[in-house]
Amino acid sequence: MQRRFKDLERRQLLKRFASLSSLPLSFERPPRGWVHATRKTLGMTMAQLAKRLSFQQSRIAEIEKTEIQDHVTLKTLKAAAQAMGCRFEYAFIPEKPFEVLLKERALKRAQEKVAYISHQMALEHQDISQEEREAQIQQLVEELLKTPRKLWEDEDEI
């Protein structure tokens, strides 16, 4: 029962991430950061934002600088967003749909494993045909996709 629940939970997460991977590139952080871009779009000065956050004006300049350097905290970004009438969200946006990433990883791992085994068999004069190799790879891909955590283990653990 617990396994079914985990599989259901995983499928729901895959659906959720699928919608994120189709987001346009316009969701990338602007060159000078979201705080700066939002503040400028609203016509808000650093002093005005600082007052809304109960900060010194110099702190706003620091926030904008640290955002670009990837050193700003999520808490700070959330507070700045709220002070400017925005909702702050963060997410991991997959470069490709997770199903594609998982299949690519499974194929790579299967090819590595079958290549190693094929090499060992060839040393013992028990080589298999390319057709048999491909069939073994596909079978291993299917097995790996059933238990995705195995995709991320070290080579000697599969």
Cα–Cα distance measured from residue 60 to residue 49, given in angstroms and rounded to the nearest whole number: 7
Q: Where are the alpha helices (DSSP H) in 69-129?
A: 74-83, 98-123
pTM recorded for the entire structure: 0.68
Is residue 28's pLDDT more than 90? no
Q: Decide which of 3.30.310, 1.10.260, 2.130.10, 1.10.287 is the CATH code for 24-83.
A: 1.10.260
Contacts of 115 (CB under 8 A, 6+ apart): none
Per-residue exposure over 37-59, b if at least 16 CB sit within 10 Å of its own CB, e if not: ebbeeeebebebbbebbebeeee
| Residue (of 110, 105, 114, 112) closest to 141 by Cα position | 110
Tens digits of residue pLDDT in 92-103: 888 888 888 999
Tens digits of residue pLDDT in 87-127: 998 888 888 888 889 999 999 999 988 888 777 766 666 77
> 71: which DSSP letter?
-
Question: Which residue intervals of the chain bear CATH 1.10.260?
Answer: 24-83
